[in-house]
Amino acid sequence: MNNVIAHLPFDLKKFGAQKINSLIKAKAPASWQSPGLRIANALLISLVFIGSSANASEDKTTEAVVAAEAPACLKYDKYNYTGSESPFPSNCESIFPELGGFRESMYNAGWSSQLILTTGLTYDIKSHDRETQVYSGQRLSSTSTGSLLVNHDLGRYGLPEGSLFTLGASLAYSSFRGDGLREGFISQLSARLPFYDDRVIVQFGYFSLAGQFYGTLLGNNIAASTLGPSSGLLAQTGAQGFKPSPAFDVRLYSEDKRFYNHFGVARSISPEGLFPDSDDNRSGLKFNTKNARAVAIDEVGYRIEAGPNQKKIWLRGGVVYNNSEYTRLDEPDQKSNNHGAYIVGDLQLTQPNSALPYKGWYVNAYVNKGSENVNYLPGAFGGSLYSLAPFESRPYDLFAIGASKNQYSKYARRNASAANLDYADASTSLSVSYAYRVSRGIYLQTALIHLDNPTFAPKRDSSLNAYTTLVLVF
């Protein structure tokens, strides 16, 4: 049963109570799950069992059967944060689902909490460590993070059912400064309110706007995920940083909840860059940072999660506009706004077992296009072929192979040439990755990544980075 729980679709309401009951009763191998820093996963799940066409008495009967068969930890997911495209896994997929009775006490008071700890190593096995380090893995590089989310049910105060308050805190350390931060900060302080049977969802407060869009994981939770589509566009256009910013977003869904329009606006990351922005926002709760104005994203899409006799489909496209002033690459004494667009698609190709609908092969493809006069990497495209439950004995693992190409701005190349620097025209990567569920709440993410131009200028030999990360979920 745990296998099924780990991979149930996000929105159980789409399937109806009777279909959910059949999913939970289905037999599955006793192992784990699949598709992050990039791999595949155990899916978040909700405790709302409502069949759209069933009457009230039928619902109560079915829910009673489900409750009798489902593990008690499943109910705690009712207060898990949803909305991020890099979500935490189910409480049932943590090392201690009950936390010695503490999770039950929190649930009764309308609270939930989840903690993820990660530690990873990256090393270029082509032994380029004799020079000063300028890219991740050139010398053995380590990163460690701790991410805590605490949620509280706002529905008990008269707000719509499913309304949540979320407080997040993060602690990070990277041995190579270019990999990330070396500090702690508030990562989220927000409220999320659903209306009209979840057809309108509003969120406001401090959070990462980019984390709500695009979808960079191959899979649906951050613990069991692998290398996915590049999110470089959102970072370059100021929508994605190390720390949160004041933001507002609203999702509008069609009646069948397959089509959607998602709009968000936030304070931009500083045009000075990710690290200056972070240095100017130590706590994570600063309203303004230097020279940062507003950034907006609008995404439209079509999304169906895997279900019995229904393969997963997620097609989306978005535009980003930032009215902050960025230094131009073509005219360095001038400044311009920033903008970009993207198209991303995930399709499930096979579904060998309808009782385990997530299982099978998938394909992902993406195209990014940004402003060439202010972005060093204005164009990117790539794709991945990945499998959830690649082996019968490993129903929770993920295997993926991918390729991508990032094109450097013609103006950046022109400037490098004028400075007599040997520069790269583009950077192409090939990767193979695997997510392995060691046991409940313990995941091992591994990858081998070949990059033909790890730096822009001066140009360097290709790298072959071996990457591994241990993930612990509490």
- Top-confidence residue, 135 or 343: 343
- Top-confidence residue, 248 or 63: 248
Say if CB 340 and CB 236 are below 8 A apart: yes
Q: Is the pLDDT of residue 32 over 50?
A: no
- pLDDT tens-place string over residues 423-439: 999 999 999 999 999 99
37-64: b (≥16 Cβ within 10 Å) or e? bbbbbbbbbbbebebeebeeeebeebbe
Mean confidence (pLDDT) of the chain: 85
> Please, what are the domains in the chain?
2-473 (2.40.160.180)
Q: How far is the C-alpha of 150 from the C-alpha of 164, rounded, in Å? A: 10
pLDDT at 87: 84
Mean pLDDT to the nearest integer, 27-52: 33
Q: How far is the C-alpha of 472 from the C-alpha of 94, rounded, in Å? A: 8
pLDDT at 130: 78
Nearest residue to 122 via CA among 408, 426, 454 = 454
- Top-confidence residue, 36 or 134: 134
Q: How far is the C-alpha of 35 from the C-alpha of 48, rounded, in Å? A: 24
Please tell me the least confidently modeled range out of 77-81, 228-232, 397-401, 414-418.
228-232
pLDDT at 224: 61
Tell the residue number behind the tokens 């290398």, with chain if given. 227
pLDDT at 223: 64
Say if CB 280 and CB 305 are below 8 A apart: no
- pLDDT tens-place string over residues 196-253: 999 999 999 999 999 999 988 886 566 666 666 666 899 999 999 899 999 999 999 9
In terms of Cβ atoms closer than 10 Å to its own Cβ (0-12, 13-18, 19+), residue 217 is buried
- Say whether 163 sits in a helix, a strand or coil: coil
State in Å, rounded, how far the first CA of the chain is from the last one.
20
Please tell me the least confidently modeled range out of 23-27, 170-174, 200-204, 376-380.
23-27
Task: Please state, for a pLDDT cut of 70, what percent of the chain lies above it.
Answer: 83
Q: Is the pLDDT of residue 308 over 60?
A: yes
- Residue type (1 letter), 398: L
- Say whether 21 sits in a helix, a strand or coil: helix
Q: How far is the C-alpha of 369 from the C-alpha of 329, rounded, in Å? A: 16
Please tell me the least confidently modeled range out of 45-49, 350-354, 388-392, 436-440.
45-49
